[in-house]
Amino acid sequence: MKNTIGEATARQKRGIWITVAILVLFIVAVLAGFLHKLNQPRVISDSELRLNGTVKLQRARIIDNFRLISDTGDTWHTENLTGRWTLVFFGFTHCPDICPTTLSTLNRFYQMLDETARADTDILLVTVDPSRDKPEVLHQYVNYFNKDFRGVTGDFIEIKRFASQLNVPFNKVVLEDDNYTVDHGSQVVLINPLGHYHAFFKAPLDPSKMKLTYGSIRTTFNG
């Protein structure tokens, strides 16, 4: 009789422990799911994107394949943009204010990304002053802001056509001392992994807002 009572008690204890273990595992799973969701980028609407300084095109735009020169001196094609997300800024090394400010902001944005996002995100400066911005000059310039940043130069007409497809205007302005500067658009263009023009970030740039909108765009991309 005592053995029967003891066995029943042991079974009850095992049942209690199993129930407790199942509850603990359930709670852990719920917490893990909550924390995972908490760490995921927040998906926001197109109107919220615009309020945060980012405009997503209704339909991503295909870009022609232009042949340019990378800051390492190698041939570079716009088809090289496929497979990764790329933020493209048009500027030049003699730019007194907008360009260094923008590249500094892009560096802060880049450093704010998590490791996964940073691994497939490129920052690219396309010069609007190819006559002065030779590959070695451009390479030194972009590396000053971040060693992972890249630059592109090349034929003026090809750069002009490339910029036009991304709706970035620029124009050479002759100064009084026979020198010149270049007026150019200050937006940063976002190219998706298909190599298509997907969105743009409006100036003035805010790294925190860029991280928010970029994360949402990445999350909702179904290309």
Q: What is the pLDDT of residue 14?
A: 67
The string of DSSP letters for 13-60 reads: HHHHHHHHHHHHHHHHHHHHHHHHHHHSPPP--HHHHHHTTEEEEEEE
Q: How far apart are CA 116 and CA 41, in angstroms?
A: 12
Q: What is the pLDDT of residue 222?
A: 86
Q: Mean pLDDT over residues 10-33, rounded?
A: 60
Q: Mean pLDDT over residues 27-38, rounded?
A: 47
Please, are residues 70 and 150 in contact by the beta-carbon 8 Å criterion? yes
Whole-number percent of the chain with pLDDT over 70: 81
Whole-number percent of the chain with pLDDT over 90: 79
Q: How far apart are CA 203 and CA 53, in angstroms?
A: 7
Please, are residues 48 and 182 in contact by the beta-carbon 8 Å criterion? no
pLDDT tens-digit readout, 52-93: 999 999 999 999 999 999 999 999 999 999 999 999 999 999
Q: What is the pLDDT of residue 42?
A: 79
- The pTM for the full model equals 0.81
Whether the predicted pLDDT of 157 surpasses 60: yes
Whether the predicted pLDDT of 32 surpasses 50: no
Please, are residues 155 and 60 in contact by the beta-carbon 8 Å criterion? no
pLDDT tens-digit readout, 119-148: 999 999 999 999 999 999 999 999 999 999
pLDDT tens-digit readout, 160-213: 999 999 999 999 999 988 899 999 999 999 999 999 999 999 999 999 999 999
Non-local CB neighbours of 108 within 8 Å, separated by 6+ positions:
207
Q: Which residues of 57-66 are buried (b: 16+ CB within 10 A; e: fewer)?
A: eeebeebeeb
Q: What is the pLDDT of residue 8?
A: 58
**Strand pairing report for 188-191 and 75-77:** unpaired
Whether the predicted pLDDT of 31 surpasses 70: no
Q: What is the pLDDT of residue 177?
A: 83
Q: CA 90 → CA 28, 127, 153, distances in Å?
A: 49, 6, 10
Residue ranges with strand state E in 128-218: 150-153, 170-174, 180-184, 188-191, 197-201
